[in-house]
A = this chain, B = another copy of it.
């Protein structure tokens, strides 16, 4: 997370603004300003921790005088009952920051945990689990960070940091009469040469055409295991191979065994299951 503060502050402030509204009217009515407390962030499920520095930022943004002690760093494997961190200071400040801090932490830990399940499922095989651009609007940087924490690798951050010729590109150009080879030649000529060229293929035949046409990476889209095996054979080491589309935890090992280099999983970020965490406040200990 180092060096990203200036990029994370706006989303932290946005999240606090939308959660505090006018300010916490319940807490203002009940908790005397001088009352101190200690809040413990406790795990109620099982998973990989991600986002603990952001949670800390949230508490300090609400009240710079809070003291946040972190017991586990991002990447730690958490068991139910574990205390991740303690926050000490004004009870009212802790209560105001609680929900936003947990919302970041639960979502990011959920992503890291799910990524890690895929990574473990493919353990021992020479394959990388990758994310996609199917992230919650505004949270891409953080969500891709959580994928890395979970042991995955990042696919494109945005449309500008990688070349990927997708089915819609192919369709648009074939309708003008271009062949796969001509399409790949065109993209090579018109784009910065520091990028490898990745091309999406919907069939074994298309995968072969892509690699023959000069693709550096071929994405096998929504193929059966059998098709993937044939595609791997057809490509025969001449390009890197990514499997994509309809990947589930059940199938991931079998897919990895076909010999592909990457498996990209939209669900890592588009269908997150939050890790269950809560904050428990006690009076000063």
A contact residues vs B (CB 8 Å cutoff): 2-7, 11-31, 33, 35, 37, 39, 61-64, 90-93, 95-100, 102-104, 106-107, 110, 128, 133-141, 144, 153-166, 168-169, 171-173, 175-176, 183, 186-187, 189-196, 198, 217, 240, 261-262, 266-267, 270-274, 279-283
Contact = CB atoms under 8 A, between A and B. Distances in A.
Nearest to A4: B23
A5 B6 CA distance: 15
> Which of A136, A154, A162, A273 has the most B CB atoms < 10 Å from its CB?
A136
Contacts of A194: 155-156, 162-163, 195-196, 198, 217
Contact of A92 (B2, B99, B134): B2
- Lowest 7 CB-CB distances: which A-B pairs, in order? A21-B160, A22-B160, A21-B158, A29-B190, A15-B137, A161-B161, A24-B159
Contacts of A27: 159, 169
Contacts of A30: 165, 169, 172-173, 183, 186-187, 190
A202 to B, nearest CB: 12
The DSSP consensus for interface residues of chain A is mixed
A196 B163 CA distance: 12
Contacts of A158: 18-22
Contact of A175 (B159, B192, B283): B283
22 contacts: A3-B20, A3-B93, A3-B96, A4-B23, A6-B13, A7-B17, A12-B137, A18-B158, A19-B158, A21-B160, A22-B154, A24-B160, A26-B163, A26-B165, A29-B189, A95-B172, A107-B137, A107-B270, A162-B195, A172-B281, A175-B283, A194-B198
Contacts of A139: 136-138
Q: How many copies of the chain does the oligomer comprise?
A: 6
A137 B138 contact: yes
Contacts of A63: 2-3
A187 B32 CA distance: 12
A101 to B, nearest CB: 10
A266 B191 CA distance: 20
A13 B14 CA distance: 14
A178 to B, nearest CB: 9
Contacts of A183: 30
Contact of A160 (B90, B102, B161): B161
A138 B270 contact: no
Given A21-B159, A161-B161, A194-B217, 7 more contacts: A14-B137, A23-B160, A24-B159, A26-B163, A26-B165, A98-B168, A172-B281
A58 B150 CA distance: 31
A103 B270 CA distance: 8
